[in-house]
Each structure stands twice: as structure tokens, then as C-alpha cells.
Amino acid sequence: MAPKLSDCLFCKIVAGDIPATVVHDTDDVMAFRDLNPVAPTHVLVIPKRHIVGADHIAAEDGDVLAAMFVAARAVAAADGVDESGYRTVFNVGAHAGQTVPHLHLHVLGGRGMSWPPG
């Protein structure tokens, strides 16, 4: 079951109720450093509008998805990983590692990545 917006960790960050290290901020999306990074660059890009996860995206959410990927590219450039390469990841559901029920795109870079991810 999805949390109420008032209980959503990422909605509280957007509202300014919980501090975060924000690295990119527009009208539609916010990007901030992950508290438990798995790479030198590990930033979460979230829509400011609450969407539970990638499995809750609707056709009318195309604009926010585009904004998320534009923000991811800006984050990668700002961190200097745009030319060496970076990974973008949506985790969908608990078994995939989604721990916060608010759509978020991980931007990972600054080290070699293996495939398949594990």
C-alpha cells in the first residue's frame, strides 16, 4: 500500500521538511545525493509530483519522465561522469530494491559498472 503524501519521505524532501543535498532543482524535478551511495556519483532524481513508482506511470506522465532524464544528464555533466559513462536505474518494487514508494531515478557513475547488475 502506498503511503499518504504526508508520510512520503521524498515528498517531505521536496517540501523542505527533511534536509537533502540538492544538486539540481527545477519546477518539475529535484535531484539530491543518496544517503547510502554505491558509487562516487549516486544521485536520486525525483518528480516533485508524487508518483508511487515506475509501475504507476501513466501516459500523461511523459513530460515528467523527460524532465527526469534531462536532470540525470545535467547531474552527470556536473559530476564529470558524462563522458566516462553513467548508469540510470529505476527499481520497481521491493524485490528490485525500491525502498521508498515515490518514483526515483538513480544516477550512478564514477566507477566501472559490471553487467549484469546484481
Catalytically annotated residues: 104
Nearest to 70 by CA among 82, 83, 52: 82
Amino acid of residue 65: L
Secondary structure of residue 10 in the 3-state scheme: helix
Contacts of 42 (CB under 8 A, 6+ apart): 33, 34, 106, 107, 108
- Do 97 and 117 form a contact (C-beta atoms < 8 A)? no
- Do 45 and 29 form a contact (C-beta atoms < 8 A)? yes
* H or E segment to which residue 63 belongs: helix 62-79
